[in-house]
Amino acid sequence: MYSIGLVDAKMWRALERFDLDHAEQVRAGGCPCGGPLHHADYPRKPRGLPVEAEDACCRRTSFCCAREGCRHRRTPQSVRFLGRKVYVGAVVTLVTVLRHGPTPERLERLREVFGMCARTVRRWRLWWKQTFVKTAFWRSARGLIVPAVSEADLPASLLERFSGDGAERLCAALRFVSPVTTSSGSAIAA
């Protein structure tokens, strides 16, 4: 159902647009102290990107309050980046889905295409199955999805809950989980 070919230039432009739209909302909202926000973007060197997407993912949008004494940083949610992960969110999600039913040939193909080792893919699977499911975001959002998502089959079971072709489902799932891409959304629930 999903393939590495889903990650095309059109999809990267759509993901970049989602991030820019959300960043503009954050900037327009200003700082909680009332001060204006200035761009304080920072460079990213994400892995797993096709050449046509490198420009779309070389910077993470962020803002800093201009009011002296505050300097509060606001980093908007992102559909391109899953928090501090080195690989882009689409690749982390897709590769984890493709990893279901692993074969040595499939792992070798993933390594060739994206340059990751089997240990990295195992770490991503653990993130989805152990860390993601404990976030405050997931604990409150999982009830919104009907029928319920099988946590044992994340992220594949999450992608199945969205409509459209594979790329549309991937974009929708990345938008849905974007709250975990900032420190406030990824807090582990007690």
Q: Which pLDDT does position 101 carry in this prediction?
A: 54
Q: Which pLDDT does position 4 carry in this prediction?
A: 47
State pLDDT tens for residues 151-161. 999 999 999 99
Q: Which pLDDT does position 63 carry in this prediction?
A: 93
User: Which segments in the chain show pLDDT lower than 50?
Assistant: 1-5, 185, 187-190
Identify the CA nearest to 48 among candidates 109, 126, 115, 108: 115
Let me know: does 186 contact 180? Beta carbons within 8 Å: yes
Please provide the DSSP assignment of 116-151 as one string.
--HHHHHHHHHIIIIIGGGBHHHHHHGGGSSSPP-G
Domain boundaries, the chain: 4-181
Q: Which pLDDT does position 58 carry in this prediction?
A: 83
State pLDDT tens for residues 107-125. 777 777 777 777 888 888 8
